[in-house]
Amino acid sequence: MSEAGKVRMVDITGKEEVYREATAVGAIKLRRETIEKIRGGEVPKGDVVSVAKTAAILAVKRTWEIIPLCHPIPITSVQVDVELLDEEAKVTVNVKTTARTGVEMEALTGVSVALLTIWDMVKALEKDERGQYPQTEIRSIRVIEKVKKKE
């Protein structure tokens, strides 16, 4: 019986508080014209890059509210970078803390929310005449580095 519906948060009580860092990346494929408009500051909803960064920072801090088994972590740094390439926007999020568990889920959540926010900001430019998104695509969200240092 006890195994049906098993949901178990990892017990990190005994772990040491050490320096932790994680970097995640991801991209959103956009139309060439959309990228141009982001670059030129011509997107009707406004400044895509700063809104995406703001949303990512807020989401990183709330990761434990969004991902059920994540522990609340006192984030000490979030850096978000948005790079505009020819046909995609690439997001990199770096998160730091001193805590009992790692922050890769925080970095991944930040990347995901930045990409979703970019999509939301340029919806009107990406939709086709039937209101569909044949080309828009969030792709390849990964952790590129996780660091854990004994103090």
Tell me which residues are annotated as active site: 120
30 annotated to a ligand binding site: no
Is there a binding annotation on residue 70? yes
Q: Which is nearer to a second copy, 31 or 123 (CB)?
A: 123
115 is in an annotated binding site: no
Question: Would the annotation count 71 as a binding residue?
Answer: yes
The nearest distance, CB 95 to a second copy, in angstroms, is 10
Residue 5 or 33 with smaller CB distance to a second copy: 5
Shortest distance in whole angstroms from residue 135 CB to a second copy? 9
**How far is C-alpha 143 from the chain's CA centre?**
11
CB proximity list for 19: less than 8 A, separation 6 or greater:
96, 97, 98, 147, 148, 149, 151
Minimum CB separation from a second copy for residue 87, in Å?
15
Distance between CA 72 and CA 64 in Å, rounded?
Answer: 5
Q: What angle do CA 120, 86, 104 make, to 5 degrees?
A: 60
Q: Which of 44, 45, 32, 26 is nearest to 135 (CA)?
A: 32
Cα(25)–Cα(105) distance, integer angstroms: 12
Residue 32 or 77: the one with the smaller Cβ distance to a second copy is: 77
Which residues line the annotated binding site for substrate?
A: 69-71, 105-106
